[in-house]
């Protein structure tokens, strides 16, 4: 059985960051990514890349980080308390895209690898990651395409993988205080080492490599859709949910802050503008109501599509 190889994973993630930025900047056709490298005093660092005020993306980021230290932060040992006190390496790429046009969905993804070590004991490793889609004016065609690409990425690893990690995504990206999902889901997995290292790493690569195939066709279909100030206001209102999730529930945000990571990079996932309104509800029969009634709950999109076809 192959041993966990941190440098191999790190090399892949650096290349993935390059490919994501090239694909996204090419689709935007206006702004490019600017890069900042940073160092973490306690060990490690990263390179943050941000795109702003583009033709498509009002704000986006694709960040690489590799941090290490003598003791895992509490957020990393929540599911594995027996690992508290171990030294660690954490390496990953995370990305989020906030388009200006309300008809182009926000999207987020990340892939990461942890290695926990203690003298005299075998290293413990695990992978995590996934991607999810947050539309404001959803189109079923787009949602089905998104999940079809996710399913196809999982298929070589077993028929049960997509349903399992799709359900995990629905459960994870759920705002308990709002009783609604953040969007229409995708894939999510964490603390994952059920397979051998080579298979697990191959799965992480399949997920990371699938993102542009899942997202860019949706961007192309919706980027030129006309939009009104009403739709923009609704987009900003729903972006508030994005902020709420990241600050209240997201383990990645907590890990970054608890591990002493670079705050600017950790919070780059926040939208440039968002708003809150007291007691807002959608008008009956409106496009906004469709989002609430039909999309902000878990659904088996691919099975429904097969049944309807």
Per the annotation, binding residues for a divalent metal cation are 98, 108, 147, 177
**Cα(64)–Cα(13) distance, rounded to whole angstroms?**
7
Annotated binding site: 94, 98, 108, 110-112, 147, 177, 260-262
Q: Which ranges in 249-309 belong to alpha helices (H)?
A: 251-258, 263-266, 287-290, 301-308
Q: Is 138 helix (H, G, I), strand (E, B) or coil?
A: coil
Q: What is the DSSP string of 30-75?
A: S---EEEEEE-TTSEEEEEEEEES-SSEEEEEEEEEEEEESS--GG
Q: Is 108 one of the annotated active-site residues of the chain?
A: yes
**Cα(25)–Cα(55) distance, rounded to whole angstroms?**
10
**Cα(280)–Cα(232) distance, rounded to whole angstroms?**
15
Q: How many residues are present in the chain? A: 309
Please check whether residue 42 is in contact with residue 260, taking contact to mean a CB–CB distance below 8 angstroms: yes
Catalytic residue selected from 66, 89, 103, 108: 108
Please check whether residue 47 is in contact with residue 29, taking contact to mean a CB–CB distance below 8 angstroms: no
- Classify residue 148 by burial, with Cβ atoms within 10 Å: 0-12, 13-18, 19+: middle
Annotated binding site for substrate: 94, 110-112, 260-262
Cα of first residue to Cα of last residue in the chain, in angstroms, is: 44
Closest among 9, 243, 205, 203 to 108, alpha carbons compared: 243
List the catalytic residues: 108
């Amino acid at each position: 059985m192959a041993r966990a190889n941190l440098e191999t994973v790190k090399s892949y993630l650096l290349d993935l960051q390059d490919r994501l930025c090239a694909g996204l900047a090419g689709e935007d056709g206006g702004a490019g990514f600017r890069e900042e490298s940073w160092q973490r005093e306690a060990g490690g660092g990263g390179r943050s890349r941000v795109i702003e005020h583009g033709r498509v993306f009002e704000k986006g980021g694709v960040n690489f980080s590799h941090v290490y230290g003598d003791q895992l932060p509490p957020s990393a040992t929540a599911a594995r308390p027996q690992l508290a006190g171990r030294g660690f390496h954490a390496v990953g790429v995370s990305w989020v895209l906030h388009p200006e046009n309300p008809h182009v969905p926000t999207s987020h993804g990340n892939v990461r690898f942890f290695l926990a070590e203690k003298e005299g004991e075998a290293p413990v490793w695990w992978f995590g990651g996934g991607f999810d889609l947050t539309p404001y004016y959803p189109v079923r065609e787009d949602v089905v395409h998104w999940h079809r690409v996710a399913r196809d990425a999982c298929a070589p690893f077993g028929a049960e993988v997509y349903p399992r990690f799709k359900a995990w995504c629905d459960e994870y990206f759920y705002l308990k205080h709002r009783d609604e999902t953040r969007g229409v889901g995708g894939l999510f997995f964490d603390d994952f080492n059920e397979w051998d290292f080579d298979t697990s790493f191959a799965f992480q690569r399949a997920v990371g490599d699938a993102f542009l195939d899942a997202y860019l066709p949706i961007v192309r279909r919706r980027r030129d859709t006309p939009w009104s100030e009403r739709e923009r206001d609704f987009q900003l209102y729903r972006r508030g949910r994005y902020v709420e999730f990241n600050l209240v529930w997201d383990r990645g945000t907590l890990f970054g802050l608890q591990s002493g990571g670079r705050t600017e990079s950790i919070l780059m996932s926040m939208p440039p503008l968002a708003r809150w309104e007291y007691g807002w509800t959608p008008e009956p029969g409106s496009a906004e109501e469709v989002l609430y009634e039909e999309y902000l709950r878990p659904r088996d999109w691919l099975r429904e599509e097969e049944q309807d076809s």
